[in-house]
Structure 1
Amino acid sequence: MVEMSRYRIEIPDSDLDDLRGRLARTRWPERETVADWSQGIPLDYLRELCTYWADSYDWRATERRLNAFDQVKVAVGGLGIHVVQVTSPHPGALPLLMTHGWPGSIVEFLQVIGPLTDPVAHGGSATDAFHLVLPSLPGYGFSDKPAAVGWGVTRIADAWAELMAALGYERYAVQGGDWGAGVSAALAVRQPHAVLGLHLNMPVVDMQAAAAELGELDDRDRAALAALGLFGKEEGGYVTQQSTRPQTVGYGLVDSPAGLAGWIVEKFRGWTDCDGHPEKLFTRDQLLDNVMMYWLPAAGASAARLYWERSTGLGAADPVVVPTGCSVFPKEQFRPSRRMAQTRFRDLRYWNEPDRGGHFAAFEQPNLFVDELRAFFRLLR
């Protein structure tokens, strides 16, 4: 019998007072020597954001919003996994397991919960309804932190299979981006009898291996490889640090709220379709809601450690035979061509490249994201 208990987020006032005190005592560096974001998040903007965080941001509003949903802590694989469950009011709704990545959280999904679970209330059809299961990755949010090695993508996928069984779902759909894409694809590989269909907004493909398999490349294939190389050169420093020395970077991320905000919010500028500034796309509250999912549980090191666990296998070459749909948004960092994706996803039934959006698709473009999921899963209902 899997242990399961009701869960409610209740952050002590002392934790919020400590956060404000740390922000007030931040020891700031000198400003960058350039007039853009090429050296990282600019000093003036981060100071402004942190001042808002200390003086105006209201965590209690977000806490109430999260606590309005059914939440449980489920013990799988020896860890307690925090899960938000939202049951659709419509009979015949399709169970859908959605998994976030780094540096995201379940906060990414808040705007799509309503349209996905109750499409009728949002101008849609009851036939598009989903029951949602939204877990936080191990070491992320309010899930437990692994205390030993081995919690890579495949082990999380196995834990998710156990989780869904514990929640009473024998057959379900899965969706993910970033690490969530890797976990979802691994789950489809390991549990093809249980996974009805797989939707990804970041197709997990070994692009170099795919290119070698394809042999003769077209323009879209070459563009995918060029973008991958540019990402590694200009954006990939966080991968190297977190995959080699997550504990070292973790001290600063857990101790300094300004350091954590800089580390995370920079990605919401660099990886999104925000026209050069994250606040053209997100409110400050939205950005800080997500940062708080790392700050409050002191998850900076434990979340980074998932990159170190890459050595336990990403499974990016394992063939996927379940029906798959991919929505590749224009500012996504990893954009394989459809031909590349088909070398791994053997039953690729849906492929679309929307005209706007980026790495945090549900957070950036909730309406487009919902449309993409509906379009793909209509093929399988």
Structure 2
Amino acid sequence: MIKPFRIDIPQADLDDLADRLSRTRWPDEVVDAGWDYGFPLARLRELAEHWRTGYDWREHEAELNGLPHFTTEIEGQNIHFVHVPCPKPDALALILTHGWPGSFLEFLDVIEPLTRDFHLVIPSIPGYGFSGPTHERGWDIVRVARAWAELMRRLGYERYGAQGGDFGSGISMALGAVAPDQVVGVHVNYLPTRPVPDAGIELSETDEARLNKIRKLMANRPPYQALQATTPQTIGYALTDSPVGQLAWIAERFAQWTDPRSPISDERMLTDVSLYWLTATAASSARLHRDAPRRTEPCPVPVGVAVFAHDITQPVRPLAERLYDIRHWSEFERGGHFAAMEVPELLAEDVRDFFLARVEDDPRDGAGRDGA
């Protein structure tokens, strides 16, 4: 059963947040620390004070409730999603999947341009936000992909495309594998390509530089990733109990993974942080790092790739083509890891170009009539 959903955070939860922020116990910091030891104290104090006194959750809640939200239960797990139809009844449907530390909020600025040509389904990954915490083992990328296939079936979509970045990339690729007869193509804006010894492929200087960046990242695993991939419950206690801890944990990623020329506003970032805090999903969202497979998922459907210059890493095309049926590859000088939030116009255009080409290749109707 699919049910309409409305965001309505209890006022007591907002009052509790403000009270906790007012009683923050701040650590000290060495002089001129900058970013050498982690998130700078002065900047975090600024963000926390704005969250407490200037940020208005109710304003953003009202804006979000202007979208059509729904929930359904799949394999015993609550699934929240936004479903925005296209004015063209026979348009192709797209399912857009966020990553960590993002949420369905990532796609707010691409909804309007993409719904000109596509029906949009934008779910929250199990364990994230309004999908609520997971309560059992095994909600890995493949299981999420199977849930997405069931969700699209319930909505009546027989043919559709999948798009995502970060974990959304892996989930979208896995969806192409578990539902190849339904998925017309997968578009991603994050595609890790691991070095392959003796691959026998000639690489350009740019490709070699990208591989060196990937090798460096693999040799120096980021602290957040190590903790969430090994002890998500342990870090979850701190993040669920301290709003400033949750703020620093997420704000650091936004600061380090975005293009300085396309910063994400404090208001949008605080809405994302608030979503994690108010739903108490720090630990459950972190579990996906532990449960995610370390192998590359096969994807038999056509793949499109958008590469953004300031992402964590950039993929190496000759290596990607060994694994996937690459039909579309775009390189952008602007944008970082949160492309849908940083440069929504660039991402939306690239997504549109890829999937309209897929419709021309396979014009079967992708729309459903019986869904929410």
TM-score grouping bracket, smaller chain normalisation: over 0.9
State yes or no: 1:157 paired with 2:153.
no
- Select 2:349's aligned residue among 339, 348, 371: 371
> How far, CA to CA, are the matches of 1:232 and 1:253 in structure 2?
26
Question: Where in structure 2 are the equivalents of 1:172-321 lying within 5 Å?
Answer: 172-205=160-193, 207-209=194-196, 212-232=198-218, 236-274=222-260, 281-310=263-292, 313-316=293-296, 318-321=297-300
Contact 1:227 1:333 (C-alpha < 8 Å) held by counterparts: no
Unaligned stretches of 5+ residues in structure 2: 360-372
Q: Structure 2: how far apart are the matches of 1:90 and 1:244?
A: 46
Whether the aligned pair in 1 keeps the contact of 2:132 and 2:281 (CA below 8 Å) is: no
Shift of 1:229: 2.8
Q: Secondary structure at the match of 1:329?
A: strand
Q: Is the 8 A contact 1:186 1:315 kept in 2?
A: no
CA RMSD between the two structures = 1.6
* 1:287 partner letter: M
> 2:323: which partner in 1?
344
Q: CA deviation at 1:187?
A: 0.7
1:36-185 matches, cutoff 5 A: 36-118=34-116, 129-185=117-173
Letter in 2 for 1:53: W
The alpha-carbon deviation at position 33 of structure 1 amounts to: 4.6
2:297 is the counterpart of 1:330: no
Whole-angstrom distance in 2 between the partners of 1:113 and 1:283: 18
Pick closer, same or farther for the CA change 1:106–1:214 going to 2, 3 Å: farther
Which amino acid in the other structure matches residue 38 of structure 2?
G
**Contact 1:182-1:314 within 8 A present in 2 as well:** no
C-alpha deviations, 1:204-230, integer Å up to 9, x for none?
A: 44x124x54345443233222211133
Q: Deviations over 1:230-262 (max 9, x none)?
A: 334566111111000101100111011100010
Q: Is the 8 A contact 1:185 1:204 kept in 2?
A: no
8 Å CA contact retained: 1:182, 1:204:
no
- Residue ranges of structure 1 left out of the alignment (5+ in a row): 119-128
* 1:126 matched residue in structure 2: none
TM-score (ref. length: structure 1):
0.91
What is the one-letter code of the residue matched to 1:331? H
| Conservation of the 8 A alpha-carbon contact between 2:188 and 2:304 | yes
Letter in 1 for 2:195: Q
Once the two structures are superposed, residues 140-174 of structure 1 have per-residue CA deviations (whole angstroms, 9 ceiling, x without a partner) of: 01003221111111111111111111111111000
Q: Does the C-alpha gap of structure 1 residues 307 and 208 become closer, same or farther in structure 2, counting only changes over 3 Å?
A: same
Aligned length: 359
Corresponding letter in the other structure for 2:45? R
Q: Is the 8 A contact 2:100 2:285 kept in 1?
A: yes
Percent identical: 45
1:235 and 1:65 map into 2 onto residues whose CA distance is 38
Q: Which amino acid aligns with 2:265?
A: T
Counterpart of 2:10 in structure 1 is 12
Distance 1:358 1:262 in 2: 19
Q: 2:338 aligns with which of 351, 360, 364?
A: 360
CA distance in 2, matches of 1:220, 1:48: 39
Q: CA deviation at 1:36?
A: 2.3
Shift of 1:266: 0.5
